[in-house]
């Protein structure tokens, strides 16, 4: 019985295959957190850190998010996350500009900090963009900066522009935190639920045996 109970708890709490998916933060269905189980990190939507960046903002706590347990993403974390979320081999750090909308999944996960349109060639260029600072390992100089843009032209062509550079400074911030561990209380409740289910099953089995004895 103890072995079965331990196996049950472990099977529930063991990490699943590496994945990237959205989670709620403040209210149901807000999808303000993106969980990356390969990096064991939660990513905060950039829309929540607009205007909190720059070296003074970063060192000052990014509007309270850093005090709440979040921290700046590193260069390696940004390169890994953006590459896997977009499904595209990036020049990282560096600049990538290619045909296609491969940057759109990243924008959908982390949020769009700017939407605009402008004349371009013989038509209009529509831009969905994200700008944010991250930790390039030397915040006393400048943080790193990422610019991601999915550019759609009125003529029909689509391109993704991605720049991930060290020593760039944007007014928004890319923040991450370790995936929270399940609390001890939650594990105890899971164990008790498994134990109760096991005992109910034993009781039903015993009742059936008694019924069989009396009818034979």
Whether the pLDDT of residue 195 is over 70: the answer is no
Altogether, the residues listed in the chain come to a count of 216
> pLDDT for 11-29, tens place per residue?
444 445 789 999 999 999 9
Residue 51 CA to residue 71 CA, distance in Å, equals: 16
* Segment 170-189 mean pLDDT: 75
Q: Helix or strand or coil: residue 118?
A: strand
CA dihedral 128, 160, 18, 187 (to 10 degrees): -10
Q: 156: closest CA among 120, 131, 104?
A: 120
* Segment 137-161 mean pLDDT: 94
| Longest CA span, the chain | 91
Task: Give the model's confidence band at 182: pLDDT under 50 very low, under 70 low, under 90 confident, else very high.
Answer: confident
The pLDDT of residue 16 is 52
* Segment 98-109 mean pLDDT: 97
> pLDDT for 32-91, tens place per residue?
999 999 999 999 999 999 998 877 767 667 878 988 999 999 999 999 999 999 999 999
Locus of tokens 């949020």: 111
Task: Give the model's confidence band at 139: pLDDT under 50 very low, under 70 low, under 90 confident, else very high.
Answer: confident
The pLDDT of residue 112 is 97
Q: Helix or strand or coil: residue 2?
A: helix
Q: 176: closest CA among 121, 110, 113?
A: 110
Q: Helix or strand or coil: residue 3?
A: helix
Residue 188 CA to residue 190 CA, distance in Å, equals: 5
What mean pLDDT, rounded, does the chain reach?
Answer: 83
Angle between helices 184-215 and 2-13 (to 10 degrees): 130
* Segment 165-172 mean pLDDT: 90
């Amino acid at each position: 019985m103890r072995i079965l109970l331990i196996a049950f708890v472990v099977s529930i709490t063991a990490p699943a295959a590496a994945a990237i998916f959205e989670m709620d933060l403040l209210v149901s269905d807000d999808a303000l957190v993106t969980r990356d189980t390969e990096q064991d990190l939660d990513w905060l939507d950039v829309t929540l850190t607009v205007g909190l960046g720059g070296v003074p903002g970063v060192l000052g706590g990014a509007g309270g998010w850093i005090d709440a347990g979040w921290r700046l993403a590193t260069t390696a974390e940004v390169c890994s996350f953006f590459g896997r979320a977009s499904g595209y081999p990036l020049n990282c750090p560096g600049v990538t500009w290619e045909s296609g909308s491969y940057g759109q999944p990243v924008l959908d996960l982390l949020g769009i900090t700017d939407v605009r349109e402008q004349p371009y060639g013989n038509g209009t260029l529509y831009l969905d963009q994200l700008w944010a600072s991250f930790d390039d390992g030397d915040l006393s100089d400048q943080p790193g900066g990422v610019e991601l843009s999915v550019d759609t032209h009125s003529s029909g062509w689509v391109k993704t522009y991605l720049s991930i550079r060290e020593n760039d400074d944007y007014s928004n911030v890319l923040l991450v935190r370790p995936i929270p561990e399940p609390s001890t209380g939650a594990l105890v409740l899971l164990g008790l639920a498994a134990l109760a289910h096991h005992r109910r099953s034993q009781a039903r089995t015993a009742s059936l045996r008694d019924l069989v004895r009396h009818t034979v």
